[in-house]
Amino acid sequence: MGTATLGHFAAFFTVIVWGTTFISTKILLLDFTPLEILFFRFTLGFLVLCLARPKRLVTKGPAEEKYFAAAGLCGITLYFLLENIALLYTYASNVCLILAFVPFMTALAAKYLCGEESLSPNFYVGFFSALLGVVLIVFNGSVILKLNPIGDLLAFLAGIVWAMYSVLLRKISSFHYDTVLCTRNIFAYGLILMLPALFFMDFEWGLYRLDDHANLFNLLYLGVGASALCFGTWSWAIKILGPVKTSMYIYITPVVTLITSALILDEKITWIAFVGTLFIFSGLFISGRRN
C-alpha cells in the first residue's frame, strides 16, 4: 500500500470519527458549557500526547515556534470558540452549510499563501458537486434557510481560520518533526491562548460531573479519540496529500452524522439525503482526478 493511499485512509478515518463527535458533545452539553467541553477535551488530549511522546520538541526557535502558536490559535482556540458561539446565534444547518466552503477556502489559501499548484477544472466541478450534496443532506427537503447575520458571520470566520490552520500544518510538516510532538505543541499553544476566555465566559471546574459514567466516557472519546488521535492523523494526511486534497474529506462529515443519527437517534434517512450522499462522494472522486 502506497504512502498516498495511507494518507487518504488517514483523512477518511479522521472525518469518520469527527462526524460522530456531535453525539458525545450533545450528551456533554447537558452538564457542561461549550467552553468547558473544549478546554477539558484538549487538556485531556494534550496529556495523552505527553504520555505518548514524553520527550520535548526542540525547534529552531521563534522562527518555527510562531507557526505552532498560529496553528494553536487557529485550529484549536479560534475555530472551536467561533463555531460553538455561532451555534448560539444561528441554526446548526446554517453552520454546517457555511463550513462546507472550508475546502474551497483552503484551496485558495494554499494557492495564494503557499504557492500551491493552480486549481484544476476538476476541483471546481468536484467542489460544487460535493457542496450540492451537503445542501441536500443539511436541509433534507424540509429545512428553510434563514439568515442570522451574527451567527452566520462567526461560522464563516470559523471556516477561514480552519483553512488557515490547514495551510499552517502544511508549513509545519516541512520542518520534518515527529507528528505527535507537533500536534502536542499545537495543543499546548491552543490551551494557553484559550485561558483568557475562561475568565470572560461561563466556565467552572466541577470535576464531580465526571462521576457520571456517560460524561466520563464521552469526554474520553473527545479527548483521546477525536483530539489526540485524530488531530495527529489529520496532520499526517496533510503532510502526505497536501491541504487541498485533505480538506475535501470534510464533506464526508455530514454523511457520517446522517448515518450515526439514523443508527443511534433513530432519525430517518430520506431519499434526498441519500442523493446528497451520492453527490458528495462523486465530488470527492472528481476533484481527486487530474483529467
Mean pLDDT of all residues in the chain? 83
283 found inside a domain: no
21 found inside a domain: yes
250 found inside a domain: no
Q: Model pTM? A: 0.83
Nearest by Cα to 256 from 6, 22, 99, 34 = 22
Q: What is the domain count for the chain?
A: 1
Residue given cell 520535548 in the structure block = 56
108 band by pLDDT with thresholds 50, 70 and 90 = confident
Cα separation values, 151 from 11, 116, 266, Å: 28, 32, 29
74 found inside a domain: yes
Cell of 48: 495523552
Rounded to whole angstroms, the Cα distance separating 68 from 186 reads 5
> What's the pLDDT score for residue 116?
62
246 found inside a domain: no
145: pLDDT strictly greater than 60: no
Give residue-wise pLDDT tens across range 75-106. 999 998 888 788 777 766 667 667 777 877 88
85 found inside a domain: yes
96 found inside a domain: yes
What is the residue range of 160's domain?
A: 3-119+145-241
Region 187-204 average pLDDT? 91
207 found inside a domain: yes
- Give CA torsion, residues 97, 108, 189, 215, to 10 deg: 20
> What's the pLDDT score for residue 249?
85
Rounded to whole angstroms, the Cα distance separating 234 from 156 reads 21
Give residue-wise pLDDT tens across range 219-275. 999 999 999 999 999 999 988 988 878 888 887 877 777 777 677 766 666 777 778
Burial annotation 277-289 (CB, 10 A radius, 16+ → b, else e): bebbebbbebbee
